[in-house]
Amino acid sequence: MRLQPDCIHEFVAGTSERTLLLLHGTGGNERDLISLGRNLDPSASLLSPRGNVLENGMPRFFRRLAEGVFDLEDLKMRTNELANFVTAAAQRYSINMKRIVAVGYSNGANIAASMLLLRPEILSAAILFRAMVPLAPETQQNLSLVRVWMGAGTFDPIVPASDSTRLAELLRGAGAEVTIRFFEGGHGLTHADVDAAQEWLMTLK
C-alpha cells in the first residue's frame, strides 16, 4: 500500500502510545535521526520521512531562496503535504494522533515549527534543535495544549539567538508552553542538547 501523499520514510514500531516524528536537516534522509529518536525515547514509535525537495541533490523539507530565506509559498504547501502524510501514516501504522511529538533538526525543526503554526492539530509537542522563525502566520492558532522544547546554539552562524528567542515568543503568544535552552556551540547538535531534550521529554505525559 502506498501512502497518500507519498513520501519515502521509515517507521519503527515502539511499545508505547507515543510517536516521534523525526525531521532531518538539509542533506539528511529518513535514516539520519533514527538512533537519536531511540536515544530520546526507547519505547516510542518512530516515523521518519525524507524531505521531498532537492537542493543540489540534498533532501530538504521545503525550498529556500538563500540560507535562511525561505520560499514561503513552497513552505506552506510542503507543511500541508507533510501534515497530510502524517495523518495518512497514522492510519496505516495505527499511530495515536494525540501523542505525536516532532523532533526536528535545522531544516526539519523549521518545518516542525511551521506545522505548529499552520497545522496545530498534528503535534502535541515538539523538540526543535536549531530552529528559526519559519513564517509569520496569518491567523493565530491556539497552542495552549502544546509543549515545545527548543535548543539553540549561542554561536550559531545560521540562526541568530534573537531569531530563536523570537520563535519562542511567537509560540508562547499562541499559548504554547515553551522551554528554550542555549548551548555553547554553533549550528551542530551537541550531547548537551540531546541530554536536556531527553530529560524534558520524560516530563511529558
Please answer whether residues 48 and 37 qualify as being in contact, where contact means their C-beta atoms are separated by less than 8 angstroms. yes
Q: Determine which residue in the list 3, 14, 18, 25 makes contact with ligand MLT, applying CB under 6 A.
A: 25
Residue nearest to ligand MLT (CB): 107
Binding mask 154-193 for ligand MLT (x = CB under 6 A): ----x-----------------------------------
45, 48, 106, 124: the active-site residue: 106
Taking the least distance from each CB to ligand MLT, the nearer of 86 and 112 is 112
* In the block, residue with C-alpha cell 534543535: 129
Q: Between residue 42 and residue 81, which ones bind ligand MLT under the rule CB under 6 A?
A: 64, 67-68
Per the annotation, the verdict on 156 as an active-site residue is: yes
Question: In the complex, what is the shortest distance from the CB of residue 169 to ligand MLT, in angstroms, rounded to a whole number?
Answer: 19
- In this structure, what C-alpha cell is assigned to residue 203? 516530563
Question: 1-27 b/e with 16+ CB inside 10 Å = b?
Answer: eebeeebebbbbebeeebbbbbbbbbe
Q: Which one of 21, 23, 26, 36 is in contact with ligand MLT (CB under 6 A)? A: 26
Tell me the C-alpha distance between 133 and 158, whole Å.
12
Decide if 144 is catalytic: no
Of 124, 156, 164, 193, the active-site residue reads 156
Strand pairing class (45-49; 53-55): unpaired
Q: What is the 3-state secondary structure (H, E, C) of 31-70?
A: CCCHHHHHHHCCCCEEEEECCCEEECCEEECCCEEECCEE
Given 79, 87, 106, 114, the residue binding ligand MLT (CB under 6 A):
106
- Of the two residues 90 and 158, which places its CB atom closer to ligand MLT in the complex? 158
Which set of grid coordinates corresponds to residue 21?
516524528
List all residues 6 or more positions away from 24 whose beta carbon is below 8 Å from its beta carbon.
Answer: 30, 32, 33, 48, 50, 51, 59, 105, 107, 108
Minimum Å distance from CB 204 to ligand MLT?
25
Phi/psi at 133 (5° precision): -70, 120
Looking at the Cβ atoms of 66 and 202, the one nearer to ligand MLT is: 66
Specify the residue, 93 or 182, whose C-beta has the smaller distance to ligand MLT.
182
What number of other Cβ atoms are within 10 A of residue 142's Cβ? 10
Based on the residue annotation, tell me whether 24 is a catalytic residue of this protein: no
Positions marked catalytic: 106, 156, 187
Which residues are at the interface with ligand MLT (CB under 6 A)? 25-26, 64, 67-68, 106-107, 110, 158
